[in-house]
């Protein structure tokens, strides 16, 4: 990329048109999307498996909630985001399907090794290995999807891809709970880690690299440097607000999701199998519907009104709706009522994913997309995945000590506080609206 100052019209005039003959056929696009969805299912299966196994791990290793938060949060997130940026850069330069296959094999092997942990430290090291592998999951996938589908379809398509989150979580929660009750928590890690290793080979044999930038009207032939990409994305003010908003939403979401099965076991005194079944079905059905609906509705509303603001309004409104119902869920002493209250926040709580990632792609240049995805994931995961479980754990232990209550009451109060963060997230989605039109034009001119 040239450093010479030029206005947007001059830059656009110099960028070559995308080659029409490179258009991927529809069957190939759908097959590739299906393969990527399976990758993401494996990704979240291995990531979320820990949440249903917290209680037996806590008992065996004699851990507190803060240590559990370290396992499920910051220890994972630091390595996830640190490796995500260079892997995203590699995905902008080299074969993305190969990168995905290698990373999937790595995180699957490390999941199996979690089952052989002998103490807190060895389990944490294995989880760090899972994080390093999973760092290479979404950036190449988002980049591939953006090359396969035009901007007006990306919200829907990225929502289909994001179904990997509820589906993978459902398998982890239901399967992990049953395996832990039937055998032990170690067996759950070992058995559920193996499918990803097998699929890594299948994916590499079936997936092929698509042409880059077909759906961009102008394609910059030069590869921007990392500093140029970072400078460009930081200059997109709506992108920064989007990252903060998504990060705060994820902070609440990851903190609540990690401890929800443990809360059910402690507060409502049910088994791991029952807790896994309840949380798994809610994650897979309500969460799955919301994940798809968010991008689909945003695409439709943006197309109908000709205004991309819906990619911000859908996440903002869903966050506002989720907050009070989530608070009521954790304050309820009746299991049936708690489940009924949890349905609606489960339905709307995941609606931010498709619109958020779609906007992140649309606000970046064609040859910046994988790295832009990595930047967004970096912000989202440091705030959300990194701090969410840790903050929830610290609050739980703090309430237990400060108020002289038992671990169950401490966790309950912690999760109520975490649910309030959804309102903070909504504020930043609204703030991003001010800069969105100009930033989208800047991204279009970038090529």
Q: How far is CA 296 from CA 105, 158, 239, 303, in A?
A: 31, 9, 21, 11
Mean pLDDT in residue range 55-81:
89
Q: Return the pLDDT at 119.
A: 96
Q: Return the pLDDT at 34.
A: 94
Low-confidence winner among 51-55, 291-295, 296-300 (lowest mean pLDDT): 291-295
Q: Count of CB atoms within 10 A of residue 266's CB? A: 19
Q: Which residues contact 124 (CB under 8 A, 6 or more apart)?
A: 70, 71, 75
Largest CA distance in the chain: 69
- Locate 59 and state its tokens: 């008992």
pLDDT confidence band for 165 (50 / 70 / 90)? confident
Average pLDDT, the chain: 86
Mean pLDDT in residue range 405-419:
95
Distance CA 306, CA 408 (A): 49
Low-confidence winner among 197-211, 285-299, 397-411 (lowest mean pLDDT): 285-299
Distance CA 362, CA 331 (A): 40
Residue 359 DSSP SS3: helix
Can you say whether residue 62 is alpha, beta or left, with left for phi > 0 and alpha for psi between -120 and 50 degrees?
A: left
Residue keyed to tokens 């807790």:
275
Q: Count of CB atoms within 10 A of residue 18's CB? A: 20
Which one-letter DSSP state was computed for residue 308? T
Q: Which residues contact 46 (CB under 8 A, 6 or more apart)?
A: 107, 108, 111, 130, 134, 168, 172, 192, 193, 196
What DSSP element (H or E) covers 340? helix 335-349
For residues 405 and 15, which has the higher predicted lDDT (pLDDT)? 405
Task: Find how far residue 334's CA is from the centre of its chain.
Answer: 31
Q: What is the DSSP string of 33-74?
A: HHHHHHHHHHHHHHHHHHHHTHHHHHHHHT--HHHHHHHHTH
Burial 406-437 (b: 16+ CB within 10 A, else e): ebbbbbbbbbbbbbebbebbbebbebbbebbe
- Locate 129 and state its tokens: 């290995």
For 85-100, the pLDDT digits (tens) are: 788 788 878 889 999 9
Low-confidence winner among 28-42, 146-160, 164-178, 293-307 (lowest mean pLDDT): 146-160
pLDDT surpassing 80 at residue 306: yes
Burial (Cβ within 10 Å: 0-12, 13-18, ≥19) of residue 403: exposed
- Beta partners for residue 17, in sequence order: 218
pLDDT surpassing 80 at residue 179: yes
Q: Which residues contact 355 (CB under 8 A, 6 or more apart)?
A: 155, 294, 295, 298, 310, 311, 312, 314, 315
Residue 225 DSSP SS3: coil
Q: Return the pLDDT at 20.
A: 46
For residues 155 and 431, which has the higher predicted lDDT (pLDDT)? 431
For 223-256, the pLDDT digits (tens) are: 677 787 778 887 788 989 999 999 999 999 989 9
* Phi/psi at 116 (5° precision): -105, 10
Q: Return the pLDDT at 105.
A: 96
Low-confidence winner among 285-294, 296-305, 361-370 (lowest mean pLDDT): 361-370
The sign of the CA dihedral 174, 177, 182, 185 is positive
pLDDT confidence band for 323 (50 / 70 / 90)? very high
Can you say whether residue 433 is alpha, beta or left, with left for phi > 0 and alpha for psi between -120 and 50 degrees?
A: alpha
Range among 19-23, 186-190, 299-303 rated most confident = 186-190
pLDDT confidence band for 409 (50 / 70 / 90)? very high
Which one-letter DSSP state was computed for residue 208? -
pLDDT confidence band for 166 (50 / 70 / 90)? confident
Please provide the size of the chain in residues: 447
Distance CA 77, CA 131 (A): 7
| Secondary-structure breakdown of the chain: helix, strand, coil percentages, each rounded to the nearest 5 | 85, 0, 15
Q: Return the pLDDT at 21.
A: 45
Residue 352 DSSP SS3: coil
Distance CA 175, CA 104 (A): 20
pLDDT surpassing 90 at residue 123: yes
What DSSP element (H or E) covers 383? none
Going along the chain from its start, the domains and CATH numbers come out as 26-216+225-446 (1.20.1250.20)
Q: Return the pLDDT at 13.
A: 38
Task: Find how far residue 428's CA is from the centre of its chain.
Answer: 18
Mean pLDDT in residue range 419-425:
96
């Amino acid at each position: 990329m040239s450093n010479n100052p030029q206005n947007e019209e001059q830059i656009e005039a110099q960028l070559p048109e995308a080659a029409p003959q490179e258009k991927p056929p529809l069957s190939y696009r759908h097959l590739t999307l299906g393969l990527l969805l399976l990758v993401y299912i494996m990704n979240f299966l291995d990531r979320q498996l820990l949440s249903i196994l917290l209680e037996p791990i806590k008992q065996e290793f004699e851990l507190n909630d803060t240590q559990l938060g370290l396992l499920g949060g910051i220890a994972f997130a630091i390595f996830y985001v640190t490796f995500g940026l260079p892997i995203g850069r590699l995905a902008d330069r080299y074969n993305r399907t190969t990168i995905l296959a290698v990373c999937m094999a790595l995180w699957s092997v490390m999941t199996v090794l979690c089952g052989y942990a002998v103490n807190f430290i060895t389990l944490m090291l294995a989880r760090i290995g899972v994080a390093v592998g999973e760092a290479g999951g979404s950036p190449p996938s988002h980049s591939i999807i953006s090359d396969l589908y035009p901007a007006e379809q990306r919200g829907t398509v990225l929502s289909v891809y994001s179904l990997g989150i509820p589906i993978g979580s459902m398998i982890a929660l239901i399967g992990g709970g049953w395996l832990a009750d039937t055998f032990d928590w170690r067996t759950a890690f070992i058995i559920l880690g193996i499918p990803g290793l097998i699929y890594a080979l299948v994916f590499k044999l079936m997936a092929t690299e698509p042409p880059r930038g077909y759906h961009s009207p102008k394609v910059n032939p030069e590869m921007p440097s990392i500093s140029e990409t970072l400078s460009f994305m930081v200059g997109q003010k709506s992108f920064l607000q989007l990252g903060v908003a998504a990060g705060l939403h994820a902070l609440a979401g990851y903190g609540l999701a990690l401890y929800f099965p443990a809360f059910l076991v402690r507060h409502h005194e049910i088994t791991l199998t029952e807790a896994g079944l309840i949380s798994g079905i809610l994650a897979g059905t309500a969460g799955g519907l919301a994940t798809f609906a968010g991008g689909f509705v945003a695409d439709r509303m943006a197309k109908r009104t000709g205004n991309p603001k819906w990619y911000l309004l859908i996440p903002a409104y869903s966050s506002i709706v989720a907050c009070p119902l989530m608070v009521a869920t954790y304050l309820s002493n009746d299991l049936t009522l708690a489940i009924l209250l949890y349905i609606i926040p489960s339905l709307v709580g995941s609606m931010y994913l498709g619109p958020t990632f779609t906007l992140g792609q649309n606000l970046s240049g064609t040859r910046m997309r994988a790295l832009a995805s990595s930047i967004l994931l970096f912000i989202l995961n440091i705030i959300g995945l990194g701090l969410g479980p840790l903050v929830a754990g610290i609050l739980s232990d703090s309430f237990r000590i400060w108020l002289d209550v038992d671990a169950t009451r401490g966790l309950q109060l912690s999760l109520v506080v975490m649910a309030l963060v959804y309102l903070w997230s909504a504020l930043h989605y609204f703030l991003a609206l001010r800069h969105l039109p100009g930033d989208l034009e800047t991204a279009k001119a970038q090529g």
